[in-house]
A and B are shown apart, each in its own frame.
Chain A
């Protein structure tokens, strides 16, 4: 088991290194010059060159990369090109906002998907099961931002029940925070819930065909208790995988939804920084997202081992 976890951790570190190279290369390919954006349209070439030197952009690419890597490893994210402010506190601040949004969305996704998926699996030969399945298919096809726009049009603009956007830290106004996060979390959560529900459904259907469920039924258990007592733990393995993948999707989806709902999260920081060519900020934000996604995947790997005793031996089925 230890070997297994160690190998996963080394894959994690290798992926980090590979991503950092990729992120850095993509940034250098991005058209546009941060110094020119900072200086404005009438800047002379000399002024641009001076500022490029100040930013350190005139150094050789490998040198720039290694410097950045060194800073990353020592958790020194540097200063923003544009505002001159330290990057790490800004990312930390925005990350909290995005994580809160993602967590609330995930809770909504679970609330939607687990009953919906299980029910449509148990009733998959009946009309209501098919209808639930079709409904989740519709949910899968709707982009979160579109759902967000529709929710705003209905609940904020037309009915006036909820604010159309904005963000209040929960400590400053828990009531307002709850009202403001409801619509964005719903738009992310419902769509994710529909995706997860389809996996829950197929996973539960698979499990219900297994011999041990038939045995449980044979000894007199009715379908639901048989499923709950013997099936759900088995059915949860593929679902946990999908949840992890969806967590990454949620983080990315939050970028767009934050814009629709005017939420000062990591996504809006990323978009602003790209548009200002605040390259160091962009690199750092993307690396934080990469770390988050890789960490989730690592956790899932570890979680498998916890859920499935068969994986606890080195030679176990993976």
Chain B
């Protein structure tokens, strides 16, 4: 009797569970088979595991790297794009000419591109897209378009853009999200229905889980190899790794813990791809207050850190040592690691000379960024070895860190990877930026680089990077590696993560 009563309870609960059968299914479309078993080999589908899910698909209204990573070059195309070595190459623009005064850019556009709503892509759309950045966009990245004074269509395939002053950086920025080509008819509901010209179209979004793209059947360029590409998002790095190990995904798009690569190496059925990124891990110092308004104290920091040992300890030796705020893929890269070689005795004496030995350092680290957690402790102990007193605290990233360190500059030392491309001018050319580094010479060089010839740009930027390094405006720990793990037969993965997008166009299966 009682036993059967419990059975009734169990059955009732089971029925309740069945009543909720559609839980989690209110999104459109179906999610890819989490087993990956059925779809992986036959239907031309691939699932890529990543960490950060976009908050919104509309990157014209909300900031964040995850939406451009998914959409740029895949759903939206740009006039010019960045190839995997960092060169600016044609995309929707076949070619472009720059006037002698470097103020007028004339782009010749492809004539066979269409938007996914069926409309033809013309110079009018290009002019509309460029002008809308200034008038309709919200996030701060739109500032890169301020230099444009006019954009107009000369004919269907010819676009003329006039700048208010010469700017090398502008063309480069046109490879980023602000260069995304949209149409006036297509922007009505960008958060739910992105309309672009790219090789893929948005299919469905299972919020909190995955976003699915389908091949664009009417794409003007080389047709993509996969019918379906699914980006699946994992907050937890271990869950991301497990998903590949159990066949739920085909690619780990970004490895969050380099020491976890060992399990994939020993399994034998995966390929490990090691490239580079734009992410300079900057040990920032607040140049506007003691102790780091003192040159010798900053130099003591740079001399006290054994960068090779640091990278070996906290990031499994993966990455590249740089010595300044320039990643190896930028045209003005120079190895500046020789400026302050590790020398503990010298660091100690520099600190004594500075007179700042008694001033404790408030080191405020972003709490939930793996490299900061791993490397912060190592930096702390290396600095203490040299005689610094370090008070380490952690701040939730991004919100709390942005408020305290970034906006209020209430810190002495912090650590964050600056992943924005070509970000030296933003970080060290603006005295209000959180390192509060104010050097007129550097600002002059940056301005001259932007307005000069291509050669001048390289030499001036090299010089600016040299001054920043010698001035010890910060310490440049290393450049984050781009680490991916994939099934052995996946080809065409973007080796370097140096633009804003995860370029799917070359992806295939051998």
Does any Cβ of B come within 8 Å of A261's Cβ? yes
Q: Are A170 and B191 in contact (CB under 8 A)?
A: no
Does any Cβ of B come within 8 Å of A275's Cβ? yes
Known: A39-B138, A40-B141. A100 touches B17 (CB 8 A): yes
Q: Which of A32, A85, A180, A265 is within 8 Å of B34, CB to CB? A: A180
Q: Are B61 and A84 in contact (CB under 8 A)?
A: yes
Give the chain A neighbours of B56 by CB distance below 8 A.
82-84
In the bound complex, CA of A215 to CA of B242 (Å) = 58
Does any Cβ of B come within 8 Å of A152's Cβ? yes
Classify chain B's interface size: 35 or more
Does any Cβ of B come within 8 Å of A296's Cβ? no
Give the chain A neighbours of B403 by CB distance below 8 A.
31-33, 36
8 A Cβ contacts from B205-248 to A:
206-209, 232, 234-236, 238-239, 242-243, 245-246, 248
Question: Chain B: which residue is nearest A278 at the CB level?
Answer: B55
Give the chain A neighbours of B30 by CB distance below 8 A.
172
Give the chain B neighbours of A99 by CB distance below 8 A.
20, 23
Does any Cβ of A come within 8 Å of B280's Cβ? no
Known: A163-B34, A275-B399. A38 touches B246 (CB 8 A): no
Q: Are A41 and B9 in contact (CB under 8 A)?
A: no
Give the chain A neighbours of B22 by CB distance below 8 A.
96, 169-171
Does any Cβ of B come within 8 Å of A271's Cβ? yes
Known: A262-B234, A264-B208, A272-B53. A156 touches B23 (CB 8 A): no
In the bound complex, CA of A262 to CA of B210 (Å) = 10
Known: A84-B61, A110-B9, A164-B242. A169 touches B21 (CB 8 A): yes
Question: How many A residues, CB 8 Å from partner?
Answer: 69
- The 7 lowest CB-CB distance pairs between A and B, nearest first, are A32-B399, A264-B208, A40-B63, A96-B23, A166-B34, A169-B25, A42-B140
**20 extra interface residue pairs, beta carbon distance < 8 Å, beyond A90-B207, A110-B9, A262-B243:** A31-B395, A31-B404, A32-B398, A39-B140, A42-B143, A96-B23, A97-B24, A104-B17, A110-B6, A160-B246, A164-B246, A165-B239, A166-B243, A169-B24, A171-B25, A259-B236, A262-B239, A269-B207, A271-B235, A275-B396
A residues touching B (Cβ–Cβ < 8 Å)? 30-34, 36-44, 47, 51, 82-85, 89-90, 92-94, 96-97, 99-100, 103-104, 106-107, 110-111, 114, 149, 152, 156-157, 160, 163-172, 176, 180, 228, 232, 259-262, 264-265, 268-269, 271-272, 275-278
B residues touching A (Cβ–Cβ < 8 Å)? 2, 6, 9-10, 13-14, 16-18, 20-27, 30-31, 33-35, 53, 55-56, 58, 61-64, 138-141, 143, 191, 206-209, 232, 234-236, 238-239, 242-243, 245-246, 248, 368, 395-396, 398-400, 402-404, 406-407, 426
26 residue pairs bridging A and B, Cβ less than 8 Å apart? A33-B399, A33-B402, A33-B403, A36-B402, A41-B63, A90-B207, A92-B26, A97-B24, A100-B20, A103-B17, A103-B20, A106-B13, A107-B17, A110-B6, A165-B34, A165-B248, A170-B21, A172-B25, A228-B2, A259-B236, A261-B239, A262-B234, A262-B239, A264-B206, A269-B208, A272-B53
